[in-house]
Amino acid sequence: MTAATAWLVGLVVQAAIPSPASREIVVDPKGEVPTLTLGLRIARDGDRIVVRPGQYHEPTILIDKRVTIVGTSGVVFDGAGAHQVFTVTADSVTLRGLEIRDVGASATDDRAGIKVIEAKGCVIEDNVLIDTFFGIYLSKASGCVVRHNRLRASGKTEALSGNAIHSWSSDHLWIEDNDIAGHRDGIYFEFTTAARVRHNRSRSNLRYGLHFMFSNDCEYSGNVFEGNGAGVAVMYSTNVSMRDNLFAHNWGSAAFGLLLKEISDSRIEGNRFAGNSVGLSAEGTNRLIVADNDFDRNGWAVLVMADAVETNFSDNRFSGNAFDVGTNSVNSATRFRGNYWDRYTGYDLDRDGAGDVPFAPVRLFGLVVQQHPPALILLNSFFTRLLDLAERALPVLTPPATVDSLPRMAWTREAVP
């Protein structure tokens, strides 16, 4: 267990242990405590508040005590389209089993179903948030857990839509097993460090399934980002790990499975890129390792710009893509080694599993399309086959650095030595 994980576990355990004097307060529309606002007024640190079924129409509920709030089936808190529902300012607050609805859009205020402000060790789990401007908003939060929540919105424009899970200037977060759809961005991080984002599903959002900037030392694993307007964007960050994610069906003129911009000292491993306009785009990357990924049936599997430095692709599978690799310069510094290419037609006389003839994944016709996009209508024409034959016979325009010197003859999960 790493030090960061142990620190986070300690916070969560502390939040789960009630104080010796803890009580249970029952909120019931027909009972002695008819509103959660009243329940919080009489609560003390460490108390547990159980909310009985009903429709609750209350002003913004401020949680400034260390309490656990648990909803039973049929509990609905309604923002009436006018205000934020929950504001959390106390440490070690737990919100569980609540349904939160109808937080209206605002041009001046980032209203949310649940907003955590400068608090530590909070747990937000097993909630349903429907048509909230922002869903769960973490501002200067630390050691918080957001898991098993379902967030749905029906925004039509980016300007009038917020993000499902939004983090600003926070650290040591766990974002896990959430189901997200219909927001501007599914998950948005800015100035967020040491976060773990695992096993979430973010789909059909207006802009990005995941979008983060200036967020270092974060891990994203086992997530599904599918059918989002522009895919996933990762910008201006270092020490990023993205493993075993699915980037699928992000299709459009400006859509990417994964867009990397100004990313350093990071690893993209074991992911699947399927059916995207561009599977992976790398711009301004530095010391980036892209290994053991599956690029399947994309328009462009990979686009790497000339300013991608020490960016290395190894042990990846390229299959069924219209174009495997594209670049904007014959002086590209990106390196390819030991990848499988379904277009490779070489031979392996020494039977070591690697082709004896290098493979150039940048097609001459691909360079033509990048300069003149309308030429794409000739993709399957006799003309493009002639260009491919000419390039193989006289590879004068293919960037030398992008040539794979050890192309695989067959696909396996074992790395090329």
Mean pLDDT by 10 residues, the chain (417 residues): 50 48 92 97 97 97 98 95 95 98 90 98 98 97 98 88 97 98 98 98 97 98 97 97 97 90 97 96 95 95 90 95 83 85 89 88 59 52 58 60 87 65
Res 239: pLDDT: 98
Res 328: pLDDT: 77
Give residue 244's identity as a one-letter amino acid code.
D
Examine the fold and report which residue of 176, 206, 229 is the final residue of a domain before the chain moves on. Answer: 229
Res 306: pLDDT: 82
Closest to 131 (Cα-Cα) out of 155, 110, 159, 106: 155
Closest to 300 (Cα-Cα) out of 276, 284, 282, 316: 276
Residues 62 and 150 in one domain: yes
> Which residues lie across from 62 on neighbouring strands?
87
> Which residues lie across from 180 on neighbouring strands?
151, 202
The Cα angle at residue 332 between residues 412 and 298, in degrees rounded to 5? 45
C-alpha dist (Å) from residue 311 to 262, 267, 274, 327: 12, 10, 21, 13
Examine the fold and report which residue of 160, 195, 229 is the final residue of a domain before the chain moves on. Answer: 229
In a domain, 393, yes or no: no
The Cα 210–Cα 154 span in angstroms is: 18
Count up the domains in the chain and report the number: 2
Examine the fold and report which residue of 229, 246, 270 is the final residue of a domain before the chain moves on. Answer: 229
Residues 16 and 155 in one domain: yes
Residues 189 and 246 in one domain: no
Res 8: pLDDT: 47
Q: What is the CATH number of the domain that holds 213?
A: 2.160.20.10
Strands (E), 28-111: 48-51, 54-56, 61-63, 68-71, 75-78, 86-88, 94-96, 99-103
Cα dihedral value 254, 258, 263, 267, nearest 10: -160
The Cα 404–Cα 339 span in angstroms is: 7
Range(s) of the domain holding residue 314? 235-362+398-417
Residues 51 and 188 in one domain: yes
Q: pTM for the whole thing?
A: 0.87
Residues 166 and 292 in one domain: no
Residues 239 and 219 in one domain: no
Q: Is 312 helix (H, G, I), strand (E, B) or coil?
A: strand
